[in-house]
Structure 1
Amino acid sequence: MSKVLDAIPSSVQRRVQSAVLSSVLRLPRPLLRRIAGSPIRVDGQELALEVQALLRLQALAGQERMAADTPERARAGMAQGIEVVRAGVPGVQVSRRTVSTRAGELPARLYRPEDRTEPSTLLVFYHGGGWVVGDLDTHDELCRFLAKHADIRVLSVDYRLAPEHPFPAAVEDAVDAYQHVLENAEDLGSSPDSVAVGGDSAGGNLAAMVAQHAAANGIKSPVLQLLLYPAVDASTRRRSRELFGDGFLLTDGDMDWFMDLYQPEVSERGDPRLSVLLNEELDGLAPAVLVTAGFDPLRDEGEEYARRLAEAGVPVIARRFPDLIHGFANLFGASPRLREAMFEIVGEFRAGLSLHAAS
């Protein structure tokens, strides 16, 4: 049987897996519950049924972790996993771009809704993946979704990854990419007064760091930060990491693996360019939409960062999705519940932009 499967092109296998997964997650809820098992309730929250079923199917397929024995295998694993949940986002034009950095030219992709011909807000997006995995392809559908439904342009930046390029390479790339966008905003269909930054997980960390860097160095601040379950403090273990460090996609072991590759010097993990939560000067930062997931090891640090921003006078829209897991934005093609959450996030992002325009 394995020889038969090996003879089937991997692209065909992924399409079949995607079709099967989509069908399973749309079964009547009583049947889906039988697949998922008894409801999972932790810390006063109940995991979404579709998500629990998805995790169950991943466990059966041996895909319970993001880490692997080598970075290359982890990258391939993430790419394959994303292919299985792709749903397609039509109506978006995509073009190849590059951004200039101190390390040279980096690949980027510019997304524009097909019916958006006038200038618009431009979101500079940094992908997640623990600074080790992820690329333009793994986050392509997410960027398409944000561009289409927020009616904006999105520039996704392919920053350098660890361990080939450890900290602070990604930081330097993120800062330089933002500066490049400010200097070339008109060519990208926007203006320096309409540039936002955003990212998920490690990418949310980079977006937050860019906003801090801009404020501290007299650079034009972004109009808004979109921080999706960001990693903001590598120096402290919080309660959510103990509660959700196993069985919810991003594991405690994954987090150690990523950090050991990105910043192997434990004594340097409190550097505020990495642990952005530790920056004592947060006043004057760009407004933020900060999203967390209830069953995420990063939940508590993200919500603490939201509190610290608010205490510093930064306008913050903080939203927890108590029934979801880390990485859900990349999985929205898998179920209606995840897609519903993404539409809520887009609504909050547009509300943040409207507040900026009114100020």
Structure 2
Amino acid sequence: MPLDPLAKRLLTMMAAAAPQARSRPSVEARRQSLAKLMQFARAEAPDVTTSDGTLTGPGGELPYRLYTPAGAAELAPGFVFFHGGGLVAGSIATHDRIAAALAHATGCRLVSVEYRLAPEHRFPAAVDDAIAATEWVAREAASLGIDADRLVIGGDSAGATLAAVVCQEAAQTAGLSIAAQCLICPVLDFEETSPSREAFAEGHLIDRATIEADLSDYLPGGVDTADPRVSPLRATRLTGLPPAIIHTAEYDPMRDEGNAYARKLLAAGVAVEHVCHDGMVHNFHAMGAILPQAQLVLSQIGEQVRRAVKA
């Protein structure tokens, strides 16, 4: 269907505010751009309380924020959340409203993790942090008020990359039980391009230059982009993965890889709930100040996660 009129208006506003760069965007420019974009998130969750802490990762202490929705049981389902930002940008702060909204919608105690970013810390630092953080939450679940048997792993954009990798790795690890994975506008393939990456390479929120710059900053030389820890879509062993909740957007450059991953998981016998949102763009779930569909998808995710963890 056509691009949603409000999404089109948003893209026009953003293009006017930040004309297309003629050269590779700097890391600082990409970080500032994401921070400004996340100001469009209108995801009020007044009944969610927070507390901050740190956990020990493979490269040092990692900050986290625990979100507790009102009425949560002494042991509630848990949700480990990894923020997006191309693995070079984003933080607990940029995604604070989204994390709170997800805690509110899902009824989970949500742990938002601040993993190491490139180019200061290149692959596999973020992957190692995500795995370590998930293992830490599982170990410390009781002290966090989380039922370790009802743990969801999720993220948006590049955070969904990490969530998918964590779930693939956990499937090979005894003792780590994941109830579901939740992938929102996931980035899943850097090995090959796709029709959606070509069709929406410019002017659709995230452009080819930014994607290429993020990948260049993230990957050291010599790393195979077909490595499933880089491109989860390229994994060949998908049986035994946790049930998947996947949300993609029609006008997202990463649409096709998210849709393809849903199909591959289904073919491997994994339970999948997949919705491709007509007329929407990348990261639309975080644009509630402009797009009514943002609140709708957060509510939908809430219902799906509650079913998965039987909340």
CA deviation after TM superposition for structure 1 residue 149, in Å: 1.6
Query: How big is the alpha-carbon RMSD for the aligned residues of Structure 1 and Structure 2?
Result: 1.8
Partner of 1:35: none
Structure 1 runs not aligned, ≥5 long? 1-44
Number of aligned pairs?
310
Partner of 2:201: 245
The change in CA–CA distance for 1:266 and 1:333 in structure 2 (over 3 A counts) is: farther
- 2:25 is aligned, of 69, 76, 94, to 69
Within a 5 Å distance, the mapping from 1:308-323 to structure 2 comes to 308-323=264-279
CA deviation after TM superposition for structure 1 residue 257, in Å: 0.8
- Write the letter of the residue equivalent to 1:220: L
The change in CA–CA distance for 1:183 and 1:174 in structure 2 (over 3 A counts) is: same
Does the 8 Å contact 2:170/2:176 carry over to 1?
yes
Structure with the higher fraction of residues in helix conformation? 1
- 1:109 is aligned, of 65, 78, 93, to 65
1:56 aligns with 2:12: yes
- 1:258 is aligned, of 214, 234, 250, to 214
Does the 8 Å contact 2:81/2:155 carry over to 1?
yes
Output the TM-score relative to the length of structure 2.
0.94
- Write the letter of the residue equivalent to 1:315: A
Q: In 2, distance between residues paired with 1:275 and 1:76?
A: 26
Q: In 1, distance between residues paired with 2:202 and 2:172?
A: 37
Q: In 2, distance between residues paired with 1:175 and 1:267?
A: 19
User: Which moves more between the two structures, 337-346 or 117-126?
Assistant: 337-346
Does the 8 Å contact 1:239/1:300 carry over to 2?
yes
1:327 aligns with 2:268: no
Indicate the structure whose relative CO is greater, using CA pairs within 8 Å and at least 6 residues apart: 2
Partner of 1:97: 53
Query: Which digits, 9 at most, give the CA deviation of each residue in 1:298-327, with x for residues without a partner?
Result: 111111111111111111101110211101
- Write the letter of the residue equivalent to 1:268: D
Does the 8 Å contact 2:164/2:183 carry over to 1?
yes
For residue 269 of structure 1, give the secondary structure of its aligned residue in structure 2: coil
1:124 aligns with 2:62: no
Q: In 1, distance between residues paired with 2:154 and 2:148?
A: 16
Within a 5 Å distance, the mapping from 1:203-352 to structure 2 comes to 203-265=159-221, 268-352=224-308
Q: In 2, distance between residues paired with 1:64 and 1:148?
A: 37
Within a 5 Å distance, the mapping from 1:84-233 to structure 2 comes to 84-86=40-42, 88-233=44-189
Output the TM-score relative to the length of structure 1.
0.82
CA deviation after TM superposition for structure 1 residue 170, in Å: 0.2
